[in-house]
Chains A and B, each alone.
Chain A
Amino acid sequence: NAGVTQTPKFQVLKTGQSMTLQCAQDMNHNSMYWYRQDPGMGLRLIYYSASEGTTDKGEVPNGYNVSRLNKREFSLRLESAAPSQTSVYFCASSEFRGLGYTFGSGTRLTVV
């Protein structure tokens, strides 16, 4: 099993460009999450999907949108990238909300 797969692994964007980060899990998990990780800030929740068909804002949602395409896939979109969005982004999934997270390998995004 692949677990949680994120693409791309690395990306450089210019300010104002848009992009979508893809995440897919093959564990039949109900809940999926997007986090960003910045030095000294830990892991901060951007958006989450408690179950297929639902999405909700986390701690730092501004500048992002998400889509829960189906039970397996949860994408994160940056409509107009800003340098403040330079970060490492992790997707995660869990069978039940809040419990037993499995993380993807991360996307290192640089906005110049």
Chain B
Amino acid sequence: GENVEQHPSTLSVQEGDSAVIKCTYSDSASNYFPWYKQELGKRPQLIIDIRSNVGEKKDQRIAVTLNKTAKHFSLHITETQPEDSAVYFCAVYGGSQGNLIFGKGTKLSVKP
């Protein structure tokens, strides 16, 4: 089955710096790659997603890049702000798995 690995597990940056979180997957047939943000004590919420026919997608300060050949995708947050502090989960869909498979999460801390 699909295996999703997410790195790093924790990330601490200074306000204004950039943050990058990377996920790798194993099933080359996977075709949908969302990212979720979960603030402390809250529900996960979809922040950006990308499909396999696109290499990059941006939405203001966040972007996702996909390398299908290498089977990895990354979340990029620029000009980080304290409100970006949260746990971020990548997920993968498609291939032999009929449901989203989540990474184990990255706890991002943005220090003012």
Task: Determine the distance from Cα of A15 to Cα of B35 in the docked complex, in whole angstroms.
Answer: 36
Q: With an 8 A cutoff between CB atoms, is A53 at the interface?
A: no
The answer on a CB contact under 8 Å between A43 and B43 is no
Number of residues from A at the complex interface, CB < 8 A: 21
The interface residues of chain B lying within 8 Å CB-to-CB of A98 are: 32, 93-94, 98-100
The interface residues of chain B lying within 8 Å CB-to-CB of A99 are: 32, 93
> In the complex, how many residue pairs between chain A and chain B have their CB atoms under 8 Å apart?
45
The interface residues of chain A lying within 8 Å CB-to-CB of B89 are: 42-43
Task: Determine the distance from Cα of A77 to Cα of B6 in the docked complex, in whole angstroms.
Answer: 31
Q: Which residues from 88 to 112 on chain A have a C-beta closer than 8 Å to any C-beta of chain B?
A: 90, 97-106
Task: Determine the distance from Cα of A91 to Cα of B52 in the docked complex, in whole angstroms.
Answer: 27
Task: Determine the distance from Cα of A90 to Cα of B36 in the docked complex, in whole angstroms.
Answer: 14
The answer on a CB contact under 8 Å between A50 and B98 is yes
The chain B residue with its CB closest to the CB of A58 is B99
The answer on a CB contact under 8 Å between B44 and A90 is yes
Task: Determine the distance from Cα of A47 to Cα of B31 in the docked complex, in whole angstroms.
Answer: 22
The interface residues of chain B lying within 8 Å CB-to-CB of A58 are: 99
Of the candidates B44, B45, B98, the one whose C-beta lies within 8 Å of that of A43 is: B44
| Ranked 4 nearest A-B pairs via Cβ | A98-B93, A42-B104, A103-B43, A43-B102
